[in-house]
Amino acid sequence: MEFSEVRQDLMLEANNYRSGQDGRNEEPNDIAQTNHNSAVIEPIRRSWRMAFVDLQILSLLHTQRLTGYSIRKNLNTRFGILISFGTLYPRLKFLEKVQVLKSAVATRSPNSPGVVTYELTQKGIDDLRTGLVSYQNSLRTMEQILEMQT
C-alpha cells in the first residue's frame, strides 16, 4: 500500500484533530499566555511536532498565498476535511509562532478592509519536506506491522 492509499485512513485522524489535544503539539492559547521572551518560545519553535493537518495546510501554501477562508475551503475540497474557523485560526497562529508561515494584510481596493493572507517561510518549506518524509516512513512502518499480523 502506498502513501496515497493510506491517506484516507489518516484523514480520519486529521478530521478529528483538535489543536494540541493529542499531546503532540503545544496549545496555541498556552503559548499566547506565556511570557513571550525567547527562552520560552524558542524551545517550542525547535521541538514542535507536525500533525497531519499541519502538513496539509503547509502543502496548500507551498505555491501561493491564501486567506484563512481559502485554506479552509481547500482543506475540504482537496482533502475532505471540514475544519471550523475556531480550530483553523488558532492553528494558523500557532504555525506562525513556530515560524513555518507568515501572515500579511493585503488590500483588495482602497475602500475595502484588508484581508489576511498566509504564506510559507523557508523554515516552513524545510519542515514540510521533513514532515512528509517522516509520515511516509511512519506509514511504511505501520504497513510492516500490519503485514506481520496477517
pLDDT in tens, 102-128: 999 988 788 888 899 999 999 999 999
- 138: Cβ contacts below 8 Å, ≥ 6 apart: none
DSSP per residue over 27-79, as a string? Answer: -HHHHHHS--SHHHHHHHHHH----HHHHHHHHHTSSS-EEHHHHHHHHHHHH
Q: Which residues contact 29 (CB under 8 A, 6 or more apart)?
A: 90
Beta bridge partners of residue 106, listed in sequence order? 115
Give me the pLDDT at residue 109, please: 80
- What is the predicted pLDDT for the residue at 111? 83
Q: Is 23 left (phi over 0), alpha (psi -120 to 50) or beta?
A: left
Per-residue confidence at 140, pLDDT binned at 50, 70, 90? very high
Q: Which residue range forms the structural domain that includes residue 17?
A: 3-149
Radius of gyration of the chain (CA): 17
Q: What pLDDT is attached to residue 6?
A: 38
pTM over 0.85: no
Please report the pLDDT score of residue 48 as a whole number: 56
Residues 13-17, mean pLDDT to the nearest whole number: 40
User: What's the pLDDT at 110?
Assistant: 81
Q: Which residues are registered as beta bridge partners of 103?
A: 118
CATH of the domain at 85: 1.10.10.10
Average pLDDT over residues 44-72: 85
Which of 68-72, 137-141, 143-147 has maximum average pLDDT? 68-72
Confidence of residue 49 (pLDDT cuts 50, 70, 90): low
Q: Taking 60 as the threshold, does the pLDDT of residue 51 lie above it? A: yes
Asked whether residue 25 carries a pLDDT value surpassing 80, the answer given is: no
Mean pLDDT of the chain: 76
More confident residue, 76 or 37: 76
Q: How many domains does the chain have?
A: 1
